[in-house]
Amino acid sequence: MKLVRFGPIGEERPGLIDPSGGIRDLSGEIGDVAGDALSDAALDRLRGLDVETLPPVEGTPRLGPCVGSVGKVVCIGLNYSDHAAEAGMDVPPEPIVFMKATSALCGPDDGIELPRGSTATDWEVELAVVIGRHAKNIAEAEAFDHIAGYSILNDVSERDFQIRHSGQWVKGKSHDTFGPLGPWLVTRDEVPDPQILPLHLDLNGTRMQEGTTATMVYSVAFLVAYLSRFMSLHPGDVIATGTPPGVGMGQKPDPVYLKPGDRLDLGIAGLGTQRQTVRASA
């Protein structure tokens, strides 16, 4: 099942993708793709609906972030062995954990706004894990029972803010529009193995990132269990699991960073695609 949120910014409504690829309105069934609606019981109820009886959504509405009321976005750094090598850094002995402000979240095609003073805004296609059930101190073997599904997150990063402005990485990760999330939330039953998914990202039609979740240092199940030792994970929380090689910072002989007018096209097999155009700061 593929769940979406559609409509103007701040007025998104819940929907699902029907067999023909159209959107069906779920407003009569759930308030949002959020919270308790992400539990196994709630998702099973939605699966049991006769899709043909749900109101069709006409046209091609804007898609918002595929999850609403996100409590936190937890990100994992250097979680692909080939990306760590690209960055010239050792594989971390434990996951590197940092946060991205929830205000950075936006729709998959909303575009990216460069912050004022930005000199090094970069891209990172990532598998996003959406929590569906409260997780605290769980075992790795229990992890999948706490996952509602998966999506795509572009962990947009201003490297100068992240690296040279001292303090935590969150400063380089949290500008408005730095978290395109979607297009859909794909429920976990449709992704039997999240460790075999190809990822890619193109900049202005040129392939920059191409990899697979098979090269993750720390698996999805490990990360969910690991994070639950340090914080409670709640329904709707998002975990961004790291990026494969090909980011702008790692380009040779010189880094390549985003500028107004650039276009990004990115995707993960089975989880859809995103397209963003870069614009100057407001």
Burial code (b: 16+ CB inside 10 Å, e: under 16) for 221-255 equals bebbbbbbeeeebbbbbbbbbbbbbbbbbbeeeee
Domains along the chain with CATH numbers = 2-53 (no CATH), 73-279 (3.90.850.10)
What tokens appear for 271 in the block? 């989880």
CB atoms within 10 A of CB 174: 23
User: What pLDDT, on the 0 to 100 scale, is given for residue 230?
Assistant: 98
Cβ 281 vs Cβ 116: under 8 Å:
yes
Please give the Cα distance from 142 to 151 (Å, whole number).
20
Question: Does the pTM exceed 0.85?
Answer: yes
Do the bridges between strand 185-187 and strand 2-6 make them parallel or antiparallel, or are there none, so unpaired? antiparallel
Q: Which residues of the chain have pLDDT under 70?
A: none
152-199 tens-digit pLDDT: 999 999 999 987 777 778 999 999 999 999 999 999 999 999 999 999
Closest CA to 147 of 165, 125, 130, 124: 130
